[in-house]
Structure 1
């Protein structure tokens, strides 16, 4: 649906209010009550025009932190919230190695460097995320089914109706306390599949300072890329 020159993806669900989201790629989506017809939806969105443009302007400002990385000597890569330099070496091991605060990549592996970095992040996130889930699932009284690390396009994480919880491999670039927030956020969705106040109350019970983690993602999220 086009509103004031902006294409907005509409998602209908059994909810009572309209929520507008600026996705990580800058696209706009709105989640609306299923009972609303197109004219009603358009009227509501037009009334929220100022909010939409304000949020888009904020997204543009925050994404000035976006970087385009090259797989060369001295390039920095994020891991657990900190930047570490890449060193190209003659020996090719077919993997990205991380040793003493430095990434190592073989000369012959440079053509597939992005693929190898993704593999590195997936493996590291898998090793980090499961203990965090074990820590919080009993506190929240939930039982997640499958836990997967994968490509999620514009989302950091997702929770399916069947109870599966997925995390983007890029989450391995975030600090540990932000990972804790991501886990609690998704586990809380096993109780409330929405972003109502009841949902945020569940998050707040476990992480009273979750606003700090959200703010970190807002400021640094655009830099979590390859």
Structure 2
């Protein structure tokens, strides 16, 4: 939907209110009630126009921190909130090693470095998710149907209407406290599909400092890339 100078992606779903998001790539999306008319939606967007442009300005400022990484000696890469430098070695082996504070890749396989990093993050994230999920799903009394680590484009994680949880492999770059927040956030969505007051109240019960973790993602999310 074109609104002024903005191209807004509209998703209709079972909800009562309109929620507008500035995605991590700077695009704008909105989740809206299934029955809302074009005229009603336009009126809502007009009432939120100032906030949308304010959020876009904030996105532009935060993304000034985006890092263009090259797969060369000394380049830093995030893992669990800490930077590790890349070291290319003459030793021949497949994949990536994390040893003595360095990510190590064989020079002969340098062209496959990005794939190796993604595989590394996926594997490590699956390991880290298990105990976190077990802890918080017990506290909330919920049970996700399925849990996947995958490419999610512009979202850190998602919860489907069937209770399936999906996590972006880039979540492995975040500190454990932030990862705890991401997991808890999606588990609470099994109870509350939308970001209602009840949603935030339940999240606050298990992650009392979630504002701090959310702020970390806002400030550092642009740098969580390959």
Fold shared by both chains (TM-score > 0.5): yes
Shift of 1:102: 0.8
Structure 1 residue ranges, 4+ long, deviating more than 3 angstroms after superposition: none
Shift of 1:38: 0.7
| Structure 1: runs of 5 or more not aligned | none
Confirm or deny that 1:20 pairs with 2:36: no
User: Corresponding residue for 2:210?
Assistant: 210
CA contact (8 A) 1:4 1:49 kept: no
Confirm or deny that 1:76 pairs with 2:76: yes
User: Corresponding residue for 1:99?
Assistant: 99
Q: What are the Cα deviations for residues 35-92 of structure 1, in whole angstroms up to 9, with x where unaligned?
A: 2111111122122111111010000000111111000000000000011100000012
- Map 1:82-93 to 2 at 5 A: 82-93=82-93
User: Corresponding residue for 2:41?
Assistant: 41
User: Corresponding residue for 2:194?
Assistant: 194
- Helix, strand or coil for the counterpart of 2:83? strand
- Helix, strand or coil for the counterpart of 2:128? helix
Whole-Å Cα distance in 2 between the matches of residues 31 and 18 of structure 1? Answer: 6
- Helix, strand or coil for the counterpart of 2:181? helix
How many equivalent residue pairs? 226
Shift of 1:132: 0.6
CA contact (8 A) 1:87 1:103 kept: yes
| Structure 2: runs of 5 or more not aligned | none
Once superposed, what is the RMSD of the aligned Cα atoms? 0.9
Shift of 1:2: 1.0
